[in-house]
Chain A
Amino acid sequence: MRVRRRPRRLRAREQVLGRRAPGSGLLHRSPAGLKVAALAVFTAVILVVREPVVSAGGVVLVLLTALAVQVPLRMLLALLRRLWLLLLVLIVLQMLLNDPLTAVEVLSRILAALLAAQLLILTTEPVELVGVLRVLLTPLKIFGVRPGRAALAALIMLRSIPFLADQFHQAGQQAAARGLERSLRARTVPLLLGAVERARDTGRALSARGIDQV
Chain B
Amino acid sequence: MCGIVGLFLKDQSLAPKLGDMLTDMLITMTDRGPDSAGIAIYGNESQGKTKLTVQSPNPDEDFAGLAEDLGQALGVSVTQSITDTHAVLEIPGDQFEAARAALAEIRPSIRLMSRGETLEIYKEVGLPKDVAARFNLSGMSGTHGIGHTRMATESAVTTMGAHPFNTGPDQCLVHNGSLSNHNSLRRKLRREGVTIQTENDTEVGAAYLTWKMMNGATLGEALQSSLDDLDGFFTFLVGTKDGFGVVRDPIACKPAVMAETDQYVAFGSEYRALVNLPGIEEARVWEPEPSTVYFWSHTDSPTTHEKAA
Q: Do A and B come from one complex?
A: no
